Amino acid sequence: MRNLLAVILALCLSLCMSSSAWAAGRTPQPEIEPARAGTQCVEPADVMRRQHMNFLKHQRDDTVRGGVRGAKHSLKDCIDCHASATSRSVAQAPGNFCVSCHSYAAVKIDCFECHTSKARAVAQGGQK
């Protein structure tokens, strides 16, 4: 009888533990630092999650082939807004904006082989 009670108790505990794991989600989500306060992204968040690579590729082509700089989907503007407050980078540390999602999705970031991942400084010496 004691063995049966122990088995039932163990089953109940395992069910409770597994249901809490399901409630929290089986896969840990990336932890992303929020963008600079008081700013609105150039596109809605769900659009940016799915399309940012296309926006950046299109902007790259416009810049390289047409000399168009500072347009709506500028990589520099993205970095200035999303750079970490501590590292001022989007790709230096595991929790930085670009790295956290790209690591989660197992996607290599190649933008920063040529481009800086650091935010531009404001003229007064502060951060932008």
pLDDT of residue 51: 94
The reported pLDDT for the residue numbered 35 is 84
Low-confidence stretches of the chain (pLDDT < 50) are 19-22, 122-128
pTM of the model: 0.66
Q: Are 122 and 116 in contact (CB under 8 A)?
A: no
Helix, strand or coil, per DSSP, at residue 121: strand
Residue 98 is predicted with a pLDDT of 92
Q: 3-class DSSP state for residue 39?
A: coil
Q: CA–CA separation, 91 vs 118, rounded Å? A: 8
Q: Do you know the residue count of the chain? A: 128
pLDDT of residue 33: 80
Distance, CA of 122 to CA of 127 (rounded, Å): 6
